[in-house]
Amino acid sequence: MILSLRQAIIQRVHDKSAEELIDVINDSIGGDDKALPGLGVLFELIWEHSGHEEQISMAATLKSHLDSGAK
């Protein structure tokens, strides 16, 4: 069976607890660029399962940080 990158990432974190997922995210942020696709897949899952108001809030937070020149 050949897995796509997205499927492989989801399979890697599928059985992790919320605390373990926090650790995965924290370890990936600011780390090696090779972690970026994984963060993208995790963000995609968050985005797809968030309500419209949550999406607006996330987009506003992102815009605010981009406008302030934050990394």
| Letter string b/e over residues 14-52, b meaning 16 or more CB atoms within 10 A of that residue's CB | eeeeeeeeeebeeebeeeeeeeeebeebbeeeeeeeeee
Look at phi and psi of residue 58 and say left if phi exceeds 0, alpha if psi is from -120 to 50, else beta.
alpha
- pLDDT given at position 70: 67
Average pLDDT over residues 58-65: 96
Per-residue pLDDT at 63 exceeds 70: yes
